[in-house]
């Protein structure tokens, strides 16, 4: 048995940052290989909290290995963190380092007659003219999905499985690593749930276009229905028709910073312009930290002028949207071109 709390406290003492993810399935810390001098309060090394398979992977430099290697690299002794020898099972199993290597899952057939509540809910959100079979990753029968794909559930999810199957709509993420659940009863305190299929990071999105030769653009929304609605309506898509949009993606309660990395890695893009479709009650300052991401070239934020869902309502560009430092040189097609506009950030 591995004493995970001791492991967490030891790594935090050595490198300054080590914390559990929301589901306590992974420890996240700074990488000993590429982040020793990293001063930010986050890391890119993920260690699986699993006694049978305690392996780690750094999503920044691609370093990986077992907990034994990690503890030794940080100057610790393995024996103080377990009540016996640590035996690593299934050594060949690793994290999915690219979202393009999708996990194979089978989505149960959509039965509108059996799940009328779920069918009506989805159509009330997306329009009654929508073809449910055209919605990427849509799942009605949560029980069948768990059974067919042999998804391992925590005790919490096991207790709520009947509830999920009765009144939750599911969406598989792009890499098929997670099943995102949304409660059809909007008055319930339990509005969302997330079933982990592999434990790897992932996002939900819709591809708009193949990769462009010049700088590409990613559109980010808060939730899955925001993605599906905003992508559906022409008056929103036309606003971005000249911006080389390749994909629309949902943040799903994750950090915007991480979601940008997930999408860019999935499309194998080094950098991109980012457009955020934001609810009108969200302050612009919430997105300030995104300018620290070196993979963001430029950032624009559009308000949702009315309501919480995007769709028929108009959207409006925030006039002070230039939150990203304009770089003196910009890479296009492998070459660097000098920006014509000189800002306060690149003036001598």
* pLDDT tens digit sequence for 138-166: 999 999 999 999 999 999 999 999 999 99
DSSP string, 263-306: HHHHTT-S-EEEEEEEETTS-GGGGGGGGG-TTEEEEEEEEE-S
Tokens found for residue 323: 């939150």
**Do 47 and 27 form a contact (C-beta atoms < 8 A)?**
yes
Cα–Cα distance, 198 to 164 (Å, whole number): 19
- In sign, the C-alpha dihedral spanning 324, 325, 328, 334 is negative
CB atoms within 10 A of CB 300: 20
Binned at pLDDT 50, 70 and 90, residue 348 comes out as very low
Q: Give yes or no for residue 339 having a pLDDT over 80.
A: no
What is the phi-psi region of residue 311: left when phi exceeds 0, alpha when psi lies from -120 to 50, beta otherwise? Answer: left
| CB neighbour class for 217 (10 Å; exposed up to 12, middle 13-18, buried from 19) | buried
**Do 217 and 243 form a contact (C-beta atoms < 8 A)?**
yes
Tokens found for residue 88: 């690593």
Q: Give yes or no for residue 241 having a pLDDT over 90.
A: no
Residue 253's Cβ-side half-sphere holds a number of Cα atoms within 13 Å equal to 9
Binned at pLDDT 50, 70 and 90, residue 218 comes out as very high
Which residues on neighbouring strands pair with residue 172, listed in sequence order?
A: 179
**Do 98 and 266 form a contact (C-beta atoms < 8 A)?**
yes
Contacts of 184 (CB under 8 A, 6+ apart): 117, 118, 121, 167, 168, 169
Cα–Cα distance, 75 to 220 (Å, whole number): 41
Tokens 């950030």, located at residue: 345
Which residues on neighbouring strands pair with residue 196, listed in sequence order?
A: 178
Q: Give yes or no for residue 62 having a pLDDT over 70.
A: no
pLDDT digits (tens, 9 = 90+) for 24-38: 888 998 888 777 666
Tokens 């699993």, located at residue: 50
**Do 326 and 345 form a contact (C-beta atoms < 8 A)?**
yes
Tell me which of 82-96, 164-178, 203-217, 246-260 is least confident. 82-96
Q: Kind of pairing, strands 315-317 and 168-172?
A: unpaired
Percent above pLDDT 70 for the chain: 81
Contacts of 75 (CB under 8 A, 6+ apart): 14
Tell me which of 15-29, 247-261, 303-317 is least confident. 303-317
DSSP string, 169-202: EEEE-TTS-EEEEEES-TTSS--EEEEESSS---
Tell me which of 119-123, 135-139, 151-155, 263-267 is least confident. 263-267
Q: Kind of pairing, strands 138-139 and 178-183?
A: unpaired
CB atoms within 10 A of CB 264: 21
- pLDDT for 335 equals 41
Nearest C-alpha neighbor of 41 from the set 50, 30, 49, 32: 30
When pLDDT is averaged across residues 162-178 and rounded to a whole number, the result is: 93
Contacts of 92 (CB under 8 A, 6+ apart): none
**What distance lies between CA 324 and its chain's CA centroid?**
21
N residues, the chain: 348
**Do 108 and 145 form a contact (C-beta atoms < 8 A)?**
yes
């Amino acid at each position: 048995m591995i004493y995970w709390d001791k492991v967490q406290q030891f790594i935090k003492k050595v490198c300054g940052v080590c914390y559990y993810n929301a589901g306590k399935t992974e420890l996240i810390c700074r990488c000993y290989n590429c982040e020793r001098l990293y001063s930010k309060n986050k890391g890119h090394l993920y260690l699986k909290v699993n006694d049978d398979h305690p392996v780690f992977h750094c999503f920044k430099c691609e370093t990986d290995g077992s907990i034994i290697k990690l503890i030794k690299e940080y100057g610790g002794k393995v024996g103080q963190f377990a009540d016996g020898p640590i035996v690593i099972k299934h050594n060949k199993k690793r994290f999915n380092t690219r979202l393009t290597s999708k996990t194979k899952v089978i989505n149960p057939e959509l039965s509108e007659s059996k799940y009328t509540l779920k069918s009506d809910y989805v159509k009330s959100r997306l329009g009654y003219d929508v073809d449910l079979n055209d919605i990427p990753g849509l799942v009605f029968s949560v029980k069948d999905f768990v059974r067919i794909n042999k998804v391992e559930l925590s005790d919490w999810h096991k207790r709520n499985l009947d509830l999920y199957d009765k009144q939750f709509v599911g969406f598989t993420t792009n890499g098929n690593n997670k099943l995102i659940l949304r409660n059809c009863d909007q008055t319930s305190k339990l509005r969302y749930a997330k079933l982990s299929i592999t434990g790897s990071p992932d996002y939900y999105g819709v591809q708009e276009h193949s990769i462009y030769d010049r700088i590409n653009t990613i559109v980010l929304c808060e939730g899955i229905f925001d993605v599906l609605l905003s992508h559906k309506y022409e008056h929103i898509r036309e606003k971005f028709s000249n911006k080389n949009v390749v994909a629309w993606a949902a943040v799903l309660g994750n950090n915007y910073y991480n979601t940008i990395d997930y999408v860019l890695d999935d499309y194998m893009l080094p950098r991109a312009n980012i457009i955020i479709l934001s609810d009108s009650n969200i302050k612009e300052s919430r997105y300030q930290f995104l300018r620290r991401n070196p993979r963001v070239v430029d950032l624009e934020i559009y308000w949702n002028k009315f309501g919480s869902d995007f769709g028929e309502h108009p959207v409006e560009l925030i006039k002070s949207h230039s939150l990203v430092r304009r770089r003196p040189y910009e890479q296009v097609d492998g070459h660097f071109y000098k920006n014509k506009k000189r800002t306060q950030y690149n003036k001598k």
